[in-house]
Amino acid sequence: MKRPKYPFHHTVPIKAAISMKLILAGAVCAGSLPPGLSTAAQDLRVESDAAAAIVPYVSSDNLGVLYQDSHNRILERFGFSGEFQLQYASGESNHGSFGSKDIPARSRWEEIDVRRLRVGFLSEWFDVFKFYGNMDINPQLDPVYKDLYDLALTYAPNDAFNLSIGKSKARWFTQEYNTRTRELIVFEQALLVSTLVPQQLTGIWITGKADHWVYALAGFAGDNETAFSRFNRGAVIQSEVGYDFASELKVDTALVKFDYQKSSSPGNSNGPGKFSNAFSLNTTYQQGRFYACSDMLGAIGQGTQGDAWGVELTPTYFLIEHQLQLVLRYQFAHGDNAGLHLQSRYEGLASGMIATKGAGRDYNAAYLGLNYYIHGHNLKLMAGEEFNSMTGGKQNFNGWTTLLGLRASF
C-alpha cells in the first residue's frame, strides 16, 4: 500500500499525491521543479494546482512536521500547519473611495486586512489514513477561536480511490476555487466564482486519478456552521471529470475538466442557495515559464435569482524563473435581473454602492499583478492593480483598486 497524502493542507505531499487539489487543477510535472533539487525534495513536490506546480514548495515544507518515521506503521507523520495572509487595498471609483480600512474592525489591524489567520494539524496513520484539521483565528484574538475551517479523515489505499468524510472547503467546482488559498496567484477569487461557490460544509467525498483521468463525487449538507453541519438546509452535490492532454500535446500540463454543482434548497450556503444548477468547463495549461487557466461558467437561478454566466482568463509568465511572476486576469460575468453584486472585498464598500450592494447585470474586471516568491508559496509578496466595472443596475460603477500583500504558510 502507498502511504497517504494530504488532500490539500499539508505542504509535504508524496510524489504520487492524489489530493483533490492536484486532481482538480492540474498534474504536477517533474520539469516544473528548479534544477538542483535532490530526489527527496522532488518526492515532496506540491499537491495542488498547476500554478503551484511552477512555484513548488521546497525545504520549508518540513517546518511544521514534529514527527516523521516511515517505518512506524501506526503513526507515520504528525505536525502543525499554518497560514498567515495580510493585505492592503486602496481604491477610487465614481462612487467614492474604498479599501481595507473599510472592512469590519474585527477583521483588520488598523488599515491592514488580516485576510486569513489559520492554524491546524496533520497526521498519517496505518499507511492508508490521513487525519487533518484547521481552524480560523480572530485577528483581534477576542476570542481566539473564530470557526472550524476543516476537520476530515481520508482513506487512501491507492491513487484511483480516496474516500473522505468530515468538514471541508466544498472545492470541487471551478479551477480557482479548487486552488488552495495559500496558492492563489491573485488576491481574490473572480466575482462569478465567489457568487456560485459554497463555503465550508460537512459531507463525504470520493476522488481519484487513473492514467490521465481525474474524477470526484461529493455530497455535502447545505448549511455552513462555525463547527459541523446541523443538516437542516438541504444538500449540495459536486462532481467532476477531467483529462490531461499533456502527453499528446507534449507540454507540462494540459488539463481539461468539467465540473457540476447541484443545490437542493434555496437555504443552502452561499452560491448553491441562489443557483439550483451550476457548470464549469475549465482548463489548466503549463509549458515552461508560461502558465494559464481559463473557466467558462454558467448557472441556473432559483427563487428570484436570475441565471448567470461568464468567463475568466488568467495567463501568467515568470520573468525570473520560480521567483518573479507576471499575472494577468480578465473576467466577465452576466446576471439576469441585475443578479450580480460587487464583491464585499473591496469595491462593494464604496459609500455610494452600499445601499444597493453594487447590484448590476454585466461585470468586467481586468487585473495586472506581480508575485515575488521568496520561498515558493511558503512565503511570497504580491502586488496588483485591478479595474472593475458593473453596469445594468440602478447605478453603474467604475473603479480602480491597488493591492499589496504578504502570504506565508507552513
Helix (H/G/I), strand (E/B), else coil: 273: helix
Name residues whose C-beta falls within 8 Å of residue 232's C-beta, 6 or more positions apart in sequence. Answer: 223
Helix/strand/coil percentages in the chain, nearest 5: 15, 50, 35
Predicted confidence (pLDDT) at residue 46 exceeds the cutoff of 70 = no
293 neighbors 175 (Cβ within 8 angstroms): yes
Above pLDDT 90, what percent of the chain?
80
- For the ranges 47-56, 152-161, 347-356, 385-394, the lowest mean pLDDT is seen at 47-56
pLDDT tens-digit readout, 190-234: 999 999 999 999 999 999 999 999 999 999 999 999 999 999 989
Q: How far is CA 147 from CA 202, 220, 224, in A?
A: 13, 18, 10
- What dihedral do alpha carbons 243, 246, 248, 251 form, nearest 10°? 160
- pLDDT tier at 35, thresholds 50, 70, 90: very low
The residues spanned by each domain of the chain are 20-409
- pLDDT tier at 372, thresholds 50, 70, 90: very high
Q: Give me the pLDDT at residue 19, please.
A: 33
Q: Which of 188, 179, 178 is nearest to 261 (CA)?
A: 178
Predicted confidence (pLDDT) at residue 2 exceeds the cutoff of 60 = no
Q: How far is CA 333 from CA 45, 175, 361, 382, in A?
A: 35, 16, 8, 25
Stated pTM of the model: 0.85
Q: Give me the pLDDT at residue 43, please.
A: 29
Q: Give me the pLDDT at residue 61, please.
A: 52
Question: What is the CA angle 29-379-384, rounded to 5?
Answer: 90
In this structure, how many other beta carbons lie within 10 angstroms of the beta carbon of residue 142?
A: 7
- For the ranges 16-20, 52-56, 169-173, 357-361, the lowest mean pLDDT is seen at 16-20
Q: Give me the pLDDT at residue 62, please.
A: 62
- HSE-up (13 A, CA, CB side) for residue 9: 30
Range ranked top by mean pLDDT from 174-183, 292-301, 352-361? 292-301
**Mean pLDDT value across residues 9-33:** 31
- pLDDT tier at 354, thresholds 50, 70, 90: confident
Cis peptide leading into 266, omega within 30 of 0?
Answer: no
pLDDT tens-digit readout, 170-188: 999 999 999 999 999 999 9
Predicted confidence (pLDDT) at residue 45 exceeds the cutoff of 80 = no
Q: Give me the pLDDT at residue 357, please.
A: 86
Q: Give me the pLDDT at residue 355, please.
A: 84
On average, the pLDDT of the chain sits at: 86
Q: Give me the pLDDT at residue 64, please.
A: 85
**Mean pLDDT value across residues 362-371:** 98
**Mean pLDDT value across residues 118-130:** 96
Q: Give me the pLDDT at residue 123, please.
A: 95
Above pLDDT 70, what percent of the chain?
85
pLDDT tens-digit readout, 312-324: 999 999 999 999 9
- The C-alpha cell that represents 346 in the structure block: 473591496
- pLDDT tier at 49, thresholds 50, 70, 90: very low
Task: Please give the CATH superfamily to which domain 20-409 belongs.
Answer: Porin (2.40.160.10)
Q: Give me the pLDDT at residue 27, please.
A: 31
**Mean pLDDT value across residues 275-285:** 97
How far apart CA 370 and CA 384 sit, in angstroms, is 6
- pLDDT tier at 246, thresholds 50, 70, 90: very high
Predicted confidence (pLDDT) at residue 23 exceeds the cutoff of 90 = no
What DSSP character marks residue 73? S
